[in-house]
Amino acid sequence: MTERQIPYLTLASDQGPLLHEIEVRKSRFLCSLARVQDEAEAQAFVAALRKRYWDARHHCTAFVVGDEPRRERSNDDGEPAGTAGAPMLEVLRGRGLTDTVAVVTRYFGGVLLGAGGLVRAYGGAVSAALDQAVLVERRLVAVLEVTAEHTRAGRLENDLRVAGHVVRDVHYTASGVRFDVGVPEAEVEAFHAWLAAATAGAAQAELLGSDRVDVPWPR
């Protein structure tokens, strides 16, 4: 398996940005998580939160984007060096995440936490937020175009999903229905055999290329 083909984890796209708050010795730590496509989108998310929580003392950040190689950045935003952004980034790395940005907004409660306390608070805020998140595995698969008659479309779509195949898109045309289906590259031959048996040879599949798809990640 090449580096480009290694699966990775990220946030499920349908849950939207996630907010989770913890309190440590009267300071509030609001962790905001979002799935992003690139560094520009991560920076835009950070800027939006700075504007929303304009009265907070710190907005510490960490993000990981891209496949291999990945691009990583962190920022302590005025906290002592290495006590905020770095532990946040370490949590993202430790969970195997990419295409993910974390922002921890701190409302100071009047009690100094010390370097060790800050590391635990910022890292803990991200970890606690991720415990609430729905994750998916971004897996590289072959994309096949499956064509069938309209009369078979409903049952075929159901059979595809029940069998665990990833249906990426459905196209209805005058001549029939096309399903874009993600299949692990090692299972393409077996998929052709399954499709022939499931439709008595009435549906056809053509290889379009490869792409990454979201696959549910069990906790």
pLDDT at 153: 87
Q: How much is the pLDDT for 68?
A: 72
Domains and CATH numbers, the chain: 3-133 (3.30.230.30), 137-216 (3.30.70.240)
Residue 118 CA to residue 1 CA, distance in Å, equals: 39
Predicted confidence at residue 5, as pLDDT, reads 47
pLDDT at 18: 94
* Verdict on whether the full-model pTM lies above 0.75: yes
CA torsion 51→52→56→62, rounded to 10°?
-80
Helix, strand, or coil (residue 36): coil
Q: Using CA atoms, how far apart are residues 126 and 219, in angstroms rounded to an integer?
A: 17
pLDDT of residue 94: 93
Angle at CA 120, nearest 5°, toward 115 and 123?
A: 120
Tell me what pLDDT residue 133 has.
94
pLDDT digit string (tens) for the chain, length 219 residues: 334 445 689 999 888 899 999 999 999 999 999 999 999 999 999 999 999 999 999 999 999 998 777 899 999 999 999 999 999 999 999 999 999 999 999 999 999 999 999 999 999 999 999 999 999 988 888 999 999 999 888 899 999 989 888 888 898 988 889 999 988 888 999 999 999 999 999 898 999 988 887 877 876
